[in-house]
Structure 1
Amino acid sequence: MSATDLNPHIYRVEVRDVIQETADAVSLTLDTVAGPSASFDYRPGQFLTLRVPCSDGPLTRCYSLSSAPHSPTRPTITVKRVPDGRASNWICDNAATGTLFDVLPPAGSFVPRDWTAPFLLVAAGSGITPIISILRTALALHDNPITVAYANRCAESVIFARDLDALARRHPDRLTITQWLESESGRPTEAALRSWLTAPAESHAYLCGPAPFMAAARGALIANGLAAPHIHTETFTSLTTDAFSAPAPAICDSASSSTATVELDDEVHSITWPRDAVLLDVLLARGLDVPYVCREGTCGGCAYTLRRGDVHLRENHTLDEYDLARGVRLACQSLPRSGILDLAFDQ
Protein backbone atom coordinates (compact mmCIF):
# COMPACT_ATOMS: atom_id res chain seq x y z
CA MET A 1 0.00 0.00 0.00
CA SER A 2 1.43 3.40 -1.00
CA ALA A 3 1.50 6.52 1.12
CA THR A 4 -1.13 8.09 -1.11
CA ASP A 5 -3.46 5.20 -0.26
CA LEU A 6 -3.06 6.00 3.44
CA ASN A 7 -3.41 9.78 3.29
CA PRO A 8 -5.46 11.45 0.53
CA HIS A 9 -3.66 14.78 1.07
CA ILE A 10 -0.32 13.47 -0.23
CA TYR A 11 1.25 14.68 -3.47
CA ARG A 12 3.75 12.72 -5.54
CA VAL A 13 6.40 15.00 -7.02
CA GLU A 14 9.23 14.38 -9.46
CA VAL A 15 12.59 16.13 -9.41
CA ARG A 16 13.04 17.99 -12.68
CA ASP A 17 16.40 19.56 -11.93
CA VAL A 18 19.12 19.51 -9.26
CA ILE A 19 21.08 22.73 -8.73
CA GLN A 20 24.33 22.57 -6.77
CA GLU A 21 24.15 25.79 -4.73
CA THR A 22 27.29 25.22 -2.63
CA ALA A 23 29.49 22.24 -1.83
CA ASP A 24 26.93 21.07 0.73
CA ALA A 25 23.60 22.49 -0.47
CA VAL A 26 21.34 21.61 -3.39
CA SER A 27 18.07 22.95 -4.77
CA LEU A 28 15.48 20.59 -6.23
CA THR A 29 12.89 21.86 -8.68
CA LEU A 30 9.72 19.77 -8.49
CA ASP A 31 6.87 18.76 -10.76
CA THR A 32 3.60 17.43 -9.38
CA VAL A 33 2.73 14.07 -10.95
CA ALA A 34 -0.12 13.02 -8.64
CA GLY A 35 -2.10 14.51 -5.80
CA PRO A 36 -5.42 15.71 -4.44
CA SER A 37 -5.65 18.60 -6.92
CA ALA A 38 -3.98 19.91 -10.02
CA SER A 39 -2.81 23.06 -8.25
CA PHE A 40 0.09 23.20 -5.85
CA ASP A 41 -0.42 26.57 -4.24
CA TYR A 42 1.95 27.90 -1.61
CA ARG A 43 2.84 31.19 0.05
CA PRO A 44 6.29 32.77 0.42
CA GLY A 45 7.98 31.46 3.56
CA GLN A 46 6.20 28.08 3.62
CA PHE A 47 7.76 24.62 3.52
CA LEU A 48 7.16 21.10 2.22
CA THR A 49 7.18 17.92 4.27
CA LEU A 50 8.98 15.15 2.39
CA ARG A 51 9.17 11.42 2.87
CA VAL A 52 12.84 10.72 2.21
CA PRO A 53 13.55 7.11 1.15
CA CYS A 54 16.74 6.52 3.14
CA SER A 55 18.46 3.15 2.92
CA ASP A 56 17.54 2.25 6.52
CA GLY A 57 13.92 3.31 6.18
CA PRO A 58 11.95 6.41 5.17
CA LEU A 59 12.25 9.60 7.20
CA THR A 60 9.89 12.59 7.38
CA ARG A 61 11.59 15.96 7.08
CA CYS A 62 10.52 19.58 6.40
CA TYR A 63 12.34 21.74 3.82
CA SER A 64 11.52 25.35 2.97
CA LEU A 65 10.51 26.49 -0.48
CA SER A 66 13.12 28.85 -1.91
CA SER A 67 11.08 29.70 -5.00
CA ALA A 68 8.44 32.42 -5.05
CA PRO A 69 4.80 31.54 -5.82
CA HIS A 70 4.34 34.38 -8.32
CA SER A 71 7.29 33.15 -10.40
CA PRO A 72 6.99 30.78 -13.38
CA THR A 73 9.78 28.77 -11.74
CA ARG A 74 8.59 25.36 -10.56
CA PRO A 75 8.29 24.89 -6.79
CA THR A 76 11.83 24.52 -5.46
CA ILE A 77 13.21 23.36 -2.14
CA THR A 78 16.76 23.86 -0.95
CA VAL A 79 18.49 21.30 1.27
CA LYS A 80 21.77 21.75 3.11
CA ARG A 81 23.79 18.75 4.19
CA VAL A 82 23.73 18.34 7.98
CA PRO A 83 26.52 16.40 9.74
CA ASP A 84 25.08 12.95 10.53
CA GLY A 85 21.77 14.07 9.00
CA ARG A 86 20.42 10.93 7.36
CA ALA A 87 17.74 12.66 5.27
CA SER A 88 19.75 15.68 4.13
CA ASN A 89 22.74 13.52 3.24
CA TRP A 90 20.54 11.11 1.28
CA ILE A 91 19.07 13.99 -0.72
CA CYS A 92 22.43 15.64 -1.40
CA ASP A 93 23.98 12.33 -2.46
CA ASN A 94 21.11 10.67 -4.33
CA ALA A 95 18.45 13.12 -5.58
CA ALA A 96 18.55 13.36 -9.38
CA THR A 97 16.30 14.20 -12.28
CA GLY A 98 13.40 11.73 -12.13
CA THR A 99 13.62 11.02 -8.38
CA LEU A 100 10.13 10.75 -6.87
CA PHE A 101 9.11 11.99 -3.42
CA ASP A 102 5.87 11.89 -1.48
CA VAL A 103 5.16 15.34 -0.06
CA LEU A 104 2.44 16.86 2.07
CA PRO A 105 0.75 20.14 1.06
CA PRO A 106 2.71 23.36 1.64
CA ALA A 107 2.45 24.48 5.26
CA GLY A 108 3.84 26.97 7.74
CA SER A 109 2.94 30.38 9.10
CA PHE A 110 6.29 32.13 8.46
CA VAL A 111 4.51 34.33 5.93
CA PRO A 112 4.48 38.15 6.02
CA ARG A 113 1.10 39.72 6.77
CA ASP A 114 2.03 43.36 6.18
CA TRP A 115 3.90 43.85 2.92
CA THR A 116 4.02 47.63 3.32
CA ALA A 117 6.32 47.74 6.35
CA PRO A 118 10.12 47.85 5.94
CA PHE A 119 11.54 44.33 6.10
CA LEU A 120 14.64 43.17 7.94
CA LEU A 121 15.25 39.62 6.72
CA VAL A 122 17.74 37.86 8.97
CA ALA A 123 19.18 34.45 8.10
CA ALA A 124 22.02 32.15 9.03
CA GLY A 125 23.18 29.23 6.89
CA SER A 126 20.28 27.36 5.26
CA GLY A 127 17.89 29.74 7.01
CA ILE A 128 18.17 31.82 3.85
CA THR A 129 15.80 29.40 2.10
CA PRO A 130 12.39 30.80 3.22
CA ILE A 131 13.94 34.26 3.45
CA ILE A 132 14.79 34.37 -0.26
CA SER A 133 11.25 33.29 -1.13
CA ILE A 134 9.92 36.24 0.89
CA LEU A 135 12.56 38.54 -0.62
CA ARG A 136 11.75 37.57 -4.22
CA THR A 137 8.03 38.06 -3.60
CA ALA A 138 8.46 41.45 -1.93
CA LEU A 139 10.71 42.80 -4.68
CA ALA A 140 8.42 41.60 -7.47
CA LEU A 141 5.01 42.47 -6.03
CA HIS A 142 5.49 45.17 -3.39
CA ASP A 143 7.30 48.44 -2.76
CA ASN A 144 8.67 48.26 0.79
CA PRO A 145 12.38 48.79 1.56
CA ILE A 146 14.26 45.61 2.50
CA THR A 147 17.48 44.80 4.33
CA VAL A 148 18.89 41.28 4.24
CA ALA A 149 21.32 40.35 7.01
CA TYR A 150 22.91 36.96 6.24
CA ALA A 151 25.38 35.10 8.46
CA ASN A 152 27.62 32.20 7.39
CA ARG A 153 30.81 30.46 8.38
CA CYS A 154 32.74 31.64 5.32
CA ALA A 155 32.22 33.06 1.83
CA GLU A 156 32.17 29.59 0.26
CA SER A 157 29.15 28.55 2.36
CA VAL A 158 26.89 31.43 1.23
CA ILE A 159 23.83 29.87 -0.43
CA PHE A 160 22.28 31.90 -3.29
CA ALA A 161 25.31 34.20 -3.43
CA ARG A 162 24.85 34.93 -7.16
CA ASP A 163 21.08 35.37 -6.80
CA LEU A 164 21.47 37.82 -3.94
CA ASP A 165 24.08 39.83 -5.83
CA ALA A 166 21.83 39.99 -8.90
CA LEU A 167 18.83 41.14 -6.84
CA ALA A 168 20.92 43.83 -5.13
CA ARG A 169 22.10 45.16 -8.51
CA ARG A 170 18.54 45.09 -9.88
CA HIS A 171 17.01 46.91 -6.88
CA PRO A 172 19.68 49.30 -5.53
CA ASP A 173 17.04 51.76 -4.32
CA ARG A 174 15.12 49.21 -2.20
CA LEU A 175 17.46 46.38 -1.23
CA THR A 176 20.45 46.40 1.09
CA ILE A 177 22.37 43.19 1.74
CA THR A 178 24.86 42.81 4.58
CA GLN A 179 26.79 39.66 5.42
CA TRP A 180 28.40 38.29 8.56
CA LEU A 181 31.20 35.79 8.03
CA GLU A 182 32.46 33.97 11.11
CA SER A 183 35.80 33.48 9.39
CA GLU A 184 36.26 37.25 9.49
CA SER A 185 34.08 38.58 12.33
CA GLY A 186 33.86 35.71 14.81
CA ARG A 187 30.72 34.20 16.30
CA PRO A 188 27.55 36.32 15.98
CA THR A 189 26.78 36.82 19.67
CA GLU A 190 23.91 39.00 20.85
CA ALA A 191 26.29 41.76 21.88
CA ALA A 192 28.03 41.65 18.51
CA LEU A 193 24.76 41.59 16.57
CA ARG A 194 23.45 44.77 18.19
CA SER A 195 25.56 46.94 15.91
CA TRP A 196 24.75 44.79 12.85
CA LEU A 197 20.98 44.39 13.18
CA THR A 198 19.47 47.85 13.12
CA ALA A 199 16.14 48.82 11.59
CA PRO A 200 13.49 51.55 11.78
CA ALA A 201 10.98 51.02 14.58
CA GLU A 202 8.15 50.30 12.15
CA SER A 203 10.09 47.44 10.53
CA HIS A 204 9.10 43.79 10.64
CA ALA A 205 11.95 41.34 11.14
CA TYR A 206 11.87 37.75 9.88
CA LEU A 207 14.45 35.39 11.38
CA CYS A 208 15.45 31.91 10.24
CA GLY A 209 18.51 29.88 11.20
CA PRO A 210 19.92 27.78 14.04
CA ALA A 211 18.11 28.32 17.35
CA PRO A 212 21.10 29.93 19.18
CA PHE A 213 21.55 32.42 16.33
CA MET A 214 17.86 33.35 16.29
CA ALA A 215 17.85 33.82 20.07
CA ALA A 216 20.86 36.13 19.82
CA ALA A 217 19.35 38.03 16.90
CA ARG A 218 16.01 38.43 18.65
CA GLY A 219 17.73 39.73 21.79
CA ALA A 220 19.77 42.20 19.75
CA LEU A 221 16.70 43.51 17.93
CA ILE A 222 14.74 43.99 21.15
CA ALA A 223 17.73 45.73 22.73
CA ASN A 224 17.78 48.02 19.71
CA GLY A 225 14.14 48.97 20.26
CA LEU A 226 12.24 46.76 17.82
CA ALA A 227 8.92 45.66 19.33
CA ALA A 228 8.64 41.93 20.03
CA PRO A 229 5.39 41.53 18.00
CA HIS A 230 7.34 42.76 14.96
CA ILE A 231 9.85 39.91 15.22
CA HIS A 232 8.86 36.67 13.49
CA THR A 233 10.87 33.44 13.68
CA GLU A 234 10.80 30.15 11.79
CA THR A 235 11.63 27.06 13.83
CA PHE A 236 11.96 23.50 12.56
CA THR A 237 12.06 20.43 14.76
CA SER A 238 12.55 16.86 13.55
CA LEU A 239 9.24 15.03 13.43
CA THR A 240 8.95 12.03 15.73
CA THR A 241 5.94 10.46 14.00
CA ASP A 242 5.11 9.48 10.44
CA ALA A 243 3.24 12.51 9.14
CA PHE A 244 2.25 10.56 6.02
CA SER A 245 0.18 7.91 7.73
CA ALA A 246 -3.49 8.47 8.41
CA PRO A 247 -4.38 6.07 11.24
CA ALA A 248 -7.89 6.00 12.58
CA PRO A 249 -7.85 8.57 15.39
CA ALA A 250 -8.38 7.25 18.88
CA ILE A 251 -11.03 9.23 20.73
CA CYS A 252 -10.79 8.96 24.49
CA ASP A 253 -13.88 8.13 26.49
CA SER A 254 -14.78 10.99 28.73
CA ALA A 255 -17.81 11.87 30.79
CA SER A 256 -16.91 15.54 30.35
CA SER A 257 -17.42 17.06 26.90
CA SER A 258 -17.80 20.44 25.27
CA THR A 259 -19.96 21.52 22.37
CA ALA A 260 -18.30 23.21 19.41
CA THR A 261 -19.46 24.82 16.19
CA VAL A 262 -16.90 24.28 13.43
CA GLU A 263 -16.87 26.16 10.13
CA LEU A 264 -14.96 24.17 7.52
CA ASP A 265 -15.08 24.50 3.72
CA ASP A 266 -18.11 26.83 3.91
CA GLU A 267 -20.08 24.30 5.95
CA VAL A 268 -20.93 24.50 9.65
CA HIS A 269 -20.75 21.39 11.85
CA SER A 270 -21.85 20.93 15.46
CA ILE A 271 -19.68 18.47 17.37
CA THR A 272 -19.33 16.99 20.82
CA TRP A 273 -15.72 17.49 21.89
CA PRO A 274 -14.42 15.31 24.76
CA ARG A 275 -12.22 17.23 27.18
CA ASP A 276 -9.39 14.69 26.80
CA ALA A 277 -9.32 14.53 22.97
CA VAL A 278 -7.56 16.97 20.63
CA LEU A 279 -9.71 18.73 18.08
CA LEU A 280 -8.02 17.21 15.03
CA ASP A 281 -8.78 13.65 16.20
CA VAL A 282 -12.41 14.54 16.89
CA LEU A 283 -12.87 16.01 13.41
CA LEU A 284 -11.11 13.15 11.64
CA ALA A 285 -13.24 10.64 13.54
CA ARG A 286 -16.32 12.36 12.07
CA GLY A 287 -14.91 11.92 8.57
CA LEU A 288 -14.30 15.65 8.03
CA ASP A 289 -11.59 16.67 5.56
CA VAL A 290 -9.71 18.93 7.97
CA PRO A 291 -6.26 20.22 6.91
CA TYR A 292 -3.22 18.96 8.80
CA VAL A 293 0.40 17.97 8.25
CA CYS A 294 2.62 17.04 11.19
CA ARG A 295 0.19 16.45 14.11
CA GLU A 296 2.97 17.66 16.44
CA GLY A 297 2.37 21.42 16.70
CA THR A 298 5.37 22.34 14.56
CA CYS A 299 4.01 23.27 11.14
CA GLY A 300 0.80 25.29 11.42
CA GLY A 301 -0.93 23.13 8.82
CA CYS A 302 -4.00 22.62 11.03
CA ALA A 303 -4.35 26.22 12.20
CA TYR A 304 -7.83 27.59 12.81
CA THR A 305 -9.38 30.71 14.36
CA LEU A 306 -11.05 30.38 17.75
CA ARG A 307 -13.96 32.83 17.74
CA ARG A 308 -15.51 31.87 21.09
CA GLY A 309 -14.40 29.82 24.06
CA ASP A 310 -11.06 28.73 25.44
CA VAL A 311 -8.67 25.91 24.58
CA HIS A 312 -5.39 24.59 25.94
CA LEU A 313 -2.54 24.01 23.49
CA ARG A 314 -0.46 21.01 24.53
CA GLU A 315 2.42 22.12 22.28
CA ASN A 316 3.08 25.18 20.12
CA HIS A 317 6.25 25.55 18.06
CA THR A 318 4.88 27.71 15.26
CA LEU A 319 2.34 30.34 16.37
CA ASP A 320 3.73 33.67 17.55
CA GLU A 321 2.23 36.29 19.86
CA TYR A 322 0.41 37.99 16.99
CA ASP A 323 -1.23 34.72 15.90
CA LEU A 324 -2.32 33.85 19.43
CA ALA A 325 -3.68 37.33 20.08
CA ARG A 326 -6.01 37.12 17.08
CA GLY A 327 -7.30 33.69 18.08
CA VAL A 328 -5.23 31.36 15.91
CA ARG A 329 -4.85 27.89 17.42
CA LEU A 330 -3.63 24.43 16.32
CA ALA A 331 -6.21 21.66 15.91
CA CYS A 332 -3.68 18.89 16.55
CA GLN A 333 -2.87 20.33 20.00
CA SER A 334 -6.18 21.86 21.16
CA LEU A 335 -8.05 20.54 24.18
CA PRO A 336 -11.34 22.28 25.13
CA ARG A 337 -11.41 24.34 28.31
CA SER A 338 -14.89 25.86 28.05
CA GLY A 339 -18.30 24.33 27.56
CA ILE A 340 -19.21 26.08 24.31
CA LEU A 341 -16.78 26.92 21.51
CA ASP A 342 -16.99 28.41 18.03
CA LEU A 343 -14.16 28.14 15.52
CA ALA A 344 -13.40 28.35 11.83
CA PHE A 345 -10.74 27.05 9.45
CA ASP A 346 -9.35 29.14 6.56
CA GLN A 347 -10.14 32.48 8.15
Structure 2
Amino acid sequence: MTHELVLQEITPVTHDTYQLMFGRPKDFTFAPGQAAELAFQKDGIKDEGRPFTMVSQPDESSLSFVIKSYPDHDGVTEHVPDLGIGDIAQADGPFGAIQDHGAGVFLAAGAGVTPFIAILKKHEREGIKGDTLIFANKTDDDIILKETWESLAGVDPIFYISDQDDTAYTKGKVDQAELEKLITDKTQPFYICGPGGFVDAMRDALKDMGVADDKIITEDGW
Protein backbone atom coordinates (compact mmCIF):
# COMPACT_ATOMS: atom_id res chain seq x y z
CA MET A 1 0.00 0.00 0.00
CA THR A 2 1.31 3.45 -0.90
CA HIS A 3 1.18 6.30 1.61
CA GLU A 4 1.93 9.97 1.09
CA LEU A 5 4.31 11.40 3.71
CA VAL A 6 4.86 15.12 4.27
CA LEU A 7 8.26 16.17 5.62
CA GLN A 8 7.88 18.07 8.91
CA GLU A 9 11.50 18.30 10.05
CA ILE A 10 15.02 17.52 8.84
CA THR A 11 17.91 17.51 11.31
CA PRO A 12 21.61 16.70 10.87
CA VAL A 13 22.75 13.66 12.86
CA THR A 14 26.37 13.50 11.64
CA HIS A 15 28.30 15.35 8.93
CA ASP A 16 26.55 13.27 6.25
CA THR A 17 23.51 11.75 7.97
CA TYR A 18 20.09 13.29 8.54
CA GLN A 19 16.97 12.49 10.52
CA LEU A 20 13.78 13.07 8.55
CA MET A 21 10.48 13.32 10.44
CA PHE A 22 7.20 12.97 8.57
CA GLY A 23 3.59 13.01 9.65
CA ARG A 24 2.47 9.42 10.10
CA PRO A 25 -0.68 8.19 8.32
CA LYS A 26 -3.02 6.52 10.79
CA ASP A 27 -3.15 3.32 8.76
CA PHE A 28 0.63 2.99 8.47
CA THR A 29 1.60 0.17 10.85
CA PHE A 30 4.99 -1.48 11.24
CA ALA A 31 7.24 -3.39 13.63
CA PRO A 32 10.51 -1.94 14.99
CA GLY A 33 13.32 -2.77 12.57
CA GLN A 34 11.15 -2.70 9.45
CA ALA A 35 11.63 -0.41 6.46
CA ALA A 36 9.63 1.35 3.76
CA GLU A 37 10.51 2.26 0.21
CA LEU A 38 10.54 6.05 -0.12
CA ALA A 39 10.27 7.89 -3.42
CA PHE A 40 10.88 11.60 -2.87
CA GLN A 41 8.71 13.72 -5.14
CA LYS A 42 11.53 15.89 -6.45
CA ASP A 43 12.57 16.47 -10.03
CA GLY A 44 15.01 13.84 -11.23
CA ILE A 45 14.33 11.27 -8.49
CA LYS A 46 10.52 10.91 -8.44
CA ASP A 47 10.59 7.38 -9.79
CA GLU A 48 13.61 6.19 -7.79
CA GLY A 49 12.34 4.54 -4.63
CA ARG A 50 14.87 3.36 -2.04
CA PRO A 51 14.41 1.34 1.18
CA PHE A 52 14.92 3.18 4.48
CA THR A 53 14.28 1.98 8.01
CA MET A 54 11.79 3.61 10.36
CA VAL A 55 13.58 4.73 13.53
CA SER A 56 10.45 5.90 15.35
CA GLN A 57 8.25 3.64 17.45
CA PRO A 58 5.04 2.17 16.02
CA ASP A 59 2.88 4.11 18.51
CA GLU A 60 4.41 7.53 17.80
CA SER A 61 2.47 10.15 15.85
CA SER A 62 5.44 10.89 13.58
CA LEU A 63 7.35 8.64 11.22
CA SER A 64 11.13 9.14 11.31
CA PHE A 65 14.04 7.89 9.23
CA VAL A 66 17.80 8.32 9.61
CA ILE A 67 19.35 8.51 6.15
CA LYS A 68 23.01 8.76 5.16
CA SER A 69 23.73 10.96 2.16
CA TYR A 70 26.20 9.71 -0.45
CA PRO A 71 27.02 12.73 -2.67
CA ASP A 72 29.49 10.72 -4.75
CA HIS A 73 26.93 8.02 -5.63
CA ASP A 74 24.84 10.26 -7.94
CA GLY A 75 21.64 8.78 -6.55
CA VAL A 76 18.63 9.43 -4.32
CA THR A 77 20.53 10.06 -1.08
CA GLU A 78 22.62 12.74 -2.78
CA HIS A 79 19.49 14.93 -2.67
CA VAL A 80 18.61 14.39 1.00
CA PRO A 81 20.43 17.55 2.27
CA ASP A 82 18.36 19.61 -0.19
CA LEU A 83 14.98 18.42 1.07
CA GLY A 84 12.78 20.97 2.80
CA ILE A 85 9.75 21.21 5.07
CA GLY A 86 6.63 20.29 3.14
CA ASP A 87 8.38 18.04 0.63
CA ILE A 88 6.52 14.83 -0.12
CA ALA A 89 7.62 11.21 -0.23
CA GLN A 90 5.60 8.28 -1.48
CA ALA A 91 6.08 5.34 0.91
CA ASP A 92 5.48 1.68 0.15
CA GLY A 93 5.71 -0.89 2.91
CA PRO A 94 6.44 -1.86 5.53
CA PHE A 95 8.76 -4.78 4.89
CA GLY A 96 11.94 -6.31 6.29
CA ALA A 97 13.15 -9.42 8.06
CA ILE A 98 15.06 -7.61 10.81
CA GLN A 99 12.59 -7.50 13.69
CA ASP A 100 12.75 -7.85 17.45
CA HIS A 101 13.66 -11.30 18.77
CA GLY A 102 14.79 -10.20 22.20
CA ALA A 103 18.04 -9.08 23.81
CA GLY A 104 21.17 -10.02 21.94
CA VAL A 105 24.21 -8.84 20.03
CA PHE A 106 23.70 -6.18 17.36
CA LEU A 107 26.41 -6.02 14.70
CA ALA A 108 26.29 -2.89 12.55
CA ALA A 109 28.49 -1.06 10.06
CA GLY A 110 27.80 2.55 9.09
CA ALA A 111 24.18 3.28 8.21
CA GLY A 112 23.44 -0.40 8.84
CA VAL A 113 22.73 0.61 12.43
CA THR A 114 19.39 2.16 11.45
CA PRO A 115 17.20 -0.98 11.82
CA PHE A 116 18.53 -1.36 15.35
CA ILE A 117 17.53 2.13 16.54
CA ALA A 118 13.84 1.37 16.99
CA ILE A 119 14.51 -2.13 18.36
CA LEU A 120 16.97 -0.99 21.03
CA LYS A 121 14.79 1.95 22.05
CA LYS A 122 11.88 -0.50 22.34
CA HIS A 123 14.03 -2.65 24.63
CA GLU A 124 14.74 0.38 26.83
CA ARG A 125 11.04 1.18 27.08
CA GLU A 126 10.28 -2.41 28.06
CA GLY A 127 13.14 -2.64 30.57
CA ILE A 128 14.97 -5.27 28.56
CA LYS A 129 18.68 -5.35 29.41
CA GLY A 130 21.72 -7.24 28.16
CA ASP A 131 22.03 -5.89 24.61
CA THR A 132 25.47 -5.39 23.06
CA LEU A 133 25.95 -3.07 20.10
CA ILE A 134 29.15 -3.68 18.11
CA PHE A 135 29.31 -0.75 15.69
CA ALA A 136 31.95 -0.38 12.96
CA ASN A 137 32.74 2.97 11.29
CA LYS A 138 35.58 4.65 9.45
CA THR A 139 36.01 7.64 11.83
CA ASP A 140 34.66 8.85 15.15
CA ASP A 141 32.58 11.48 13.32
CA ASP A 142 30.83 8.77 11.32
CA ILE A 143 29.21 7.19 14.39
CA ILE A 144 25.46 7.68 14.01
CA LEU A 145 23.69 8.62 17.29
CA LYS A 146 26.82 8.04 19.38
CA GLU A 147 25.42 9.90 22.39
CA THR A 148 22.21 7.88 22.20
CA TRP A 149 24.06 4.57 22.35
CA GLU A 150 26.24 5.74 25.22
CA SER A 151 23.21 6.80 27.27
CA LEU A 152 20.66 4.13 26.36
CA ALA A 153 19.84 1.96 29.35
CA GLY A 154 20.50 -1.74 28.89
CA VAL A 155 22.85 -1.33 25.91
CA ASP A 156 26.61 -1.87 25.97
CA PRO A 157 28.02 -0.04 22.91
CA ILE A 158 31.42 -1.03 21.50
CA PHE A 159 32.73 1.20 18.70
CA TYR A 160 35.33 0.06 16.15
CA ILE A 161 37.06 2.68 14.00
CA SER A 162 39.03 1.57 10.94
CA ASP A 163 40.48 4.73 9.35
CA GLN A 164 41.36 7.12 12.18
CA ASP A 165 44.59 6.61 14.08
CA ASP A 166 43.74 8.97 16.95
CA THR A 167 40.29 7.48 17.58
CA ALA A 168 38.86 7.55 21.07
CA TYR A 169 37.54 4.05 20.51
CA THR A 170 38.86 0.64 19.42
CA LYS A 171 41.10 0.99 16.37
CA GLY A 172 40.60 -1.70 13.76
CA LYS A 173 37.92 -3.78 12.10
CA VAL A 174 35.44 -6.27 13.49
CA ASP A 175 36.44 -9.82 12.60
CA GLN A 176 36.10 -13.29 14.05
CA ALA A 177 39.03 -12.81 16.43
CA GLU A 178 37.37 -9.70 17.88
CA LEU A 179 33.99 -11.41 18.16
CA GLU A 180 35.54 -14.30 20.04
CA LYS A 181 36.94 -11.83 22.58
CA LEU A 182 33.55 -10.19 23.10
CA ILE A 183 31.03 -13.03 22.92
CA THR A 184 30.59 -15.83 25.41
CA ASP A 185 26.87 -16.61 25.05
CA LYS A 186 26.33 -18.12 21.61
CA THR A 187 22.68 -18.98 22.19
CA GLN A 188 21.36 -15.40 22.11
CA PRO A 189 20.07 -13.67 18.96
CA PHE A 190 22.65 -12.03 16.69
CA TYR A 191 21.39 -9.17 14.53
CA ILE A 192 23.54 -8.09 11.55
CA CYS A 193 23.12 -5.13 9.21
CA GLY A 194 25.49 -3.17 6.99
CA PRO A 195 27.13 -3.43 3.56
CA GLY A 196 26.92 -6.87 1.96
CA GLY A 197 30.55 -7.74 2.60
CA PHE A 198 30.20 -6.90 6.30
CA VAL A 199 27.02 -8.97 6.66
CA ASP A 200 28.59 -11.97 4.94
CA ALA A 201 31.77 -11.74 7.02
CA MET A 202 29.89 -11.46 10.32
CA ARG A 203 27.52 -14.30 9.43
CA ASP A 204 30.40 -16.57 8.43
CA ALA A 205 32.35 -15.69 11.58
CA LEU A 206 29.40 -16.42 13.85
CA LYS A 207 28.76 -19.76 12.15
CA ASP A 208 32.42 -20.69 12.54
CA MET A 209 32.08 -19.86 16.23
CA GLY A 210 29.19 -22.30 16.56
CA VAL A 211 26.22 -19.93 16.46
CA ALA A 212 23.15 -21.69 15.06
CA ASP A 213 21.62 -20.42 11.82
CA ASP A 214 18.30 -19.72 13.53
CA LYS A 215 20.00 -17.28 15.92
CA ILE A 216 21.37 -15.07 13.13
CA ILE A 217 19.02 -12.28 12.00
CA THR A 218 19.71 -10.43 8.74
CA GLU A 219 17.62 -9.06 5.89
CA ASP A 220 17.98 -12.50 4.31
CA GLY A 221 15.56 -13.80 6.92
CA TRP A 222 15.33 -15.27 10.41
Q: What residue in structure 1 maps to residue 20 of structure 2?
A: 28
* Contact kept? 1:110, 1:232, Cα under 8 Å: yes
* Contact kept? 1:43, 1:69, Cα under 8 Å: yes
* Contact kept? 1:24, 1:81, Cα under 8 Å: yes
Query: Residue 204 of structure 1 is aligned with which of 189, 196, 212?
Result: 189
Check if 1:178 corresponds to 2:158.
Answer: yes
* Contact kept? 1:197, 1:221, Cα under 8 Å: no
Q: What residue in structure 1 maps to residue 4 of structure 2?
A: 12
The residue correspondences of 1:209-228 to structure 2 (distance < 5 A) are: 209-228=194-213
Query: Residue 37 of structure 2 is aligned with which of 22, 33, 49?
Result: 49
Q: What is the CA–CA distance in structure 2 between the aligned matches of 1:105 and 1:213, rounded to whole Å?
A: 25
Q: What is the CA–CA distance in structure 2 between the aligned matches of 1:191 and 1:81, rounded to whole Å?
A: 30
Check if 1:229 corresponds to 2:214.
Answer: yes
Return 5+ residue gaps in structure 2 as ranges.
166-170
Q: Greater relative contact order (Cα 8 A, min sep 6): structure 1 or 2? A: 2
Give the C-alpha shift of residue 219 in structure 1: 2.0
Q: What is the CA–CA distance in structure 2 between the aligned matches of 1:19 and 1:196, rounded to whole Å?
A: 37
Letter in 1 for 2:128: D
Letter in 2 for 1:65: M
Give the C-alpha shift of residue 198 in structure 1: 1.5
Q: Under a length normalisation based on structure 1, what TM-score does the superposition of the two structures give?
A: 0.57
Letter in 1 for 2:20: L
What CA RMSD, in Å, does the superposition of the two structures yield over aligned residues?
Answer: 2.0
Give the C-alpha shift of residue 88 in structure 1: 0.4
Query: Residue 56 of structure 2 is aligned with which of 45, 54, 67?
Result: 67
* Contact kept? 1:149, 1:197, Cα under 8 Å: no
The Cα offsets for residues 277-300 of structure 1, whole Å up to 9 and x where unpaired, read as xxxxxxxxxxxxxxxxxxxxxxxx
Q: Under a length normalisation based on structure 2, what TM-score does the superposition of the two structures give?
A: 0.87
* Contact kept? 1:193, 1:216, Cα under 8 Å: no
Q: What residue in structure 2 maps to residue 340 of structure 1?
A: none
Q: Which has the larger radius of gyration?
A: 1
Q: What residue in structure 2 maps to residue 84 of structure 1?
A: 73
* Percent identity over paired residues: 21
Report runs of 4+ in structure 1 exceeding 6 Å deviation. none
Report SS of the residue matched to 1:200: coil
- 1:229/1:87 CA distance change after superposition, 3 Å: same
Give the C-alpha shift of residue 53 in structure 1: 3.5
Q: What is the CA–CA distance in structure 1 between the aligned matches of 2:181 and 2:77, rounded to whole Å?
A: 31
Q: What is the CA–CA distance in structure 2 between the aligned matches of 1:40 and 1:148, rounded to whole Å?
A: 29
Give the C-alpha shift of residue 141 in structure 1: 1.9
The residue correspondences of 1:1-347 to structure 2 (distance < 5 A) are: 9-32=1-24, 38-58=26-46, 59-70=48-59, 72=60, 74-82=62-70, 83-92=72-81, 94-112=82-100, 114-115=101-102, 118-167=103-152, 171=153, 174-182=154-162, 183-184=164-165, 185-188=171-174, 190-195=175-180, 197-234=182-219, 318=220, 320=221, 322=222
Report SS of the residue matched to 2:192: strand
Range 57-66 or range 13-22, more displaced: 57-66
Letter in 1 for 2:40: V
* Contact kept? 1:119, 1:144, Cα under 8 Å: no
Q: What is the CA–CA distance in structure 1 between the aligned matches of 2:45 and 2:108, rounded to whole Å?
A: 32
The Cα offsets for residues 300-321 of structure 1, whole Å up to 9 and x where unpaired, read as xxxxxxxxxxxxxxxxxx4x3x
